[in-house]
Structure 1
């Protein structure tokens, strides 16, 4: 089941947005996905986000 997504307006400096846009292009992500990735990574490193439970892997055998 996918996590619920909520819209949130974000004010960001032009320089930071341009850097995130370039980075998102390098990573083949949308700017929104890149910002969410960066936030999740920072939260995880700070111990503020519980680790995501991996999806169960089904054997093809």
Structure 2
């Protein structure tokens, strides 16, 4: 079961993405900033998908006898 650390990981990844976006955009590398944002969102979504998979398996064990 996941605890609150996964929330800190997602929040930290979000903060890192924002800082990286600002640095890359201010240096004139907007295309690389967009690719970095997409990659970061995919990584965060993969974290969330694993949590949702654990949730579904927990619900499944509640209804299976």
TM-score range, shorter chain: under 0.3
TM-score norm. by structure 1 comes to 0.27
Larger of the two Rg values belongs to structure: 2
| Higher normalized helix content (fraction of residues) | 2
**Structure of higher RCO (CA pairs closer than 8 Å, 6+ residues apart):** 2
TM-score norm. by structure 2 comes to 0.27
